[in-house]
Amino acid sequence: FRKKKLKPKIAIYSNEGWSIGRIHDSIIEYLSNDYDFKFFNWHNNNDNLEFNSTWNDYDAILSNGTISKLNDKTDPNFYKKAICVSWAEPNLEGGYFIELIGDNPDILWGAPTLDIQKSLKDLFNINAMSVIAGVNKKDFFPTRKINKITTLGLSGRPGTHDGWDYIKRPGMMKNIALNANIKYEFIHSKSSNEHHNLYKDIDMYICTSRSEAGPYGIAEAAFCKIPVISTPVGYALKFKSIKTFTTVDEAVSIINDLNSHPKKLEKYINDVYEELTRNLNWKHVAKTYWKPLIEKRLNSNKT
């Protein structure tokens, strides 16, 4: 009789509305043959109590940069299990980014894009593996003409502050809509159950940010077959098919060009969709990025 080998136990500590919490179900789905996962929602009191009393039973703890702020009240061994993914590019001009970055040498860091990985190294001397999110199943909301643009978050989002607005630049979004003579809307989700319906009433997703970890809204909209354009940050730099702009006039020119003929808009939508789904499907991402990150953490604790 051969004893069955136990799989490593991985705790995912986040919340369902943001960061790893939004994609934890996909990580579990594609890596459950290799690891035993348990998700803890830090907005749930019972989950917090259980996590605080059982974290040492896990071989690794997958979370985001916020967990690095616990280092003044946590067992030092906790950080030898921690895998922290920094989803925002660190910015020395905004405390919001700095407070998420810890200097604990035991923490293993990951980063969604190579840009963020480089920033972590340049600004904080943190070596991070590159990790990107994958594709979840989405509904298609095809459009024939761009009459309304949007971006995710910003206006109406809890916790929005001056530093956030400086990075996300909602004013630029408004000026693009004004100059293109089209409508605009800022949207945000209240629960994870709403994500697949976020974009159904808009015709284009626009990212106007100065720096980005993605944003994942670009991918989500593209998977719904909604056209996306962006400033040259995050995903827009990673994928060649995404049109980029640096000024309001450039963004308006792109919109007008795509609106000039339905076939031109359709081709652009399909080009972006095909490139992103080819490179961000979850089976590929889980095996190529997330598993090596987890294995590096597990191997670092072997004696």
- CA dihedral (17, 22, 24, 25) in degrees, to 10, reads 110
For the cut 80, the answer to whether the pLDDT of residue 191 exceeds it is: no
Alpha-carbon distance 279 to 151, whole Å? 23
Q: Compare 131 and 249 and report the one with higher pLDDT.
A: 249
Least confident of 9-23, 36-50, 234-248: 9-23
Name, in order, each residue with C-beta under 8 angstroms of 156's C-beta and a sequence gap of 6 or more.
Answer: 186, 188
Which single residue is written with the structure tokens 């509305």?
Answer: 17
Please give the pLDDT value at position 155: 45
Q: What is the 8-class DSSP label of residue 110?
A: E
In the chain, the percentage of residues whose pLDDT exceeds 70 is 84
Please give the pLDDT value at position 271: 97
pLDDT digits (tens, 9 = 90+) for 132-174: 777 766 678 777 799 999 887 654 454 455 667 788 888 899 9
Can you list the alpha helix ranges (DSSP code H) found in the chain? 20-31, 45-54, 95-98, 114-124, 162-168, 170-180, 216-223, 234-238, 248-258, 262-280, 282-285, 291-300
Alpha-carbon distance 10 to 8, whole Å? 6
Give pTM, 2 decimals: 0.75
Tell me which residue of 252, 248, 232 sits closest to 171, measured CA to CA.
248
Could you write out the DSSP letters of every residue in 6-35? PPPEEEEEEBTTBTHHHHHHHHHHHHTTT-
Least confident of 98-112, 199-213, 252-266, 288-302: 98-112
Alpha-carbon distance 135 to 284, whole Å? 10
Tell me which residue of 210, 208, 171, 173 sits closest to 93, measured CA to CA.
210
Q: What is the 8-class DSSP label of residue 224?
A: T
Name, in order, each residue with C-beta under 8 angstroms of 120's C-beta and a sequence gap of 6 or more.
Answer: 86, 90, 101, 109, 111, 126, 127, 128
Alpha-carbon distance 22 to 226, whole Å? 20
pLDDT digits (tens, 9 = 90+) for 252-286: 999 999 999 999 999 999 999 999 998 888 888 89
Tell me which residue of 276, 207, 204, 205 sits closest to 239, measured CA to CA.
276
Q: Compare 278 and 70 and report the one with higher pLDDT.
A: 278
Alpha-carbon distance 235 to 130, whole Å? 13
Please give the pLDDT value at position 41: 92
Please give the pLDDT value at position 94: 55
Please give the pLDDT value at position 114: 79
Please give the pLDDT value at position 194: 60
For the cut 50, the answer to whether the pLDDT of residue 248 exceeds it is: yes
| Averaged pLDDT score across all residues of the chain | 84
Alpha-carbon distance 300 to 289, whole Å? 17
Please give the pLDDT value at position 130: 85
pLDDT digits (tens, 9 = 90+) for 78-131: 889 999 888 777 766 655 455 555 567 888 988 887 778 888 888 878 888 888
Residue 175 binned pLDDT confidence (cut-offs 50, 70, 90): very high
What does the pLDDT average to over 188-201?
65
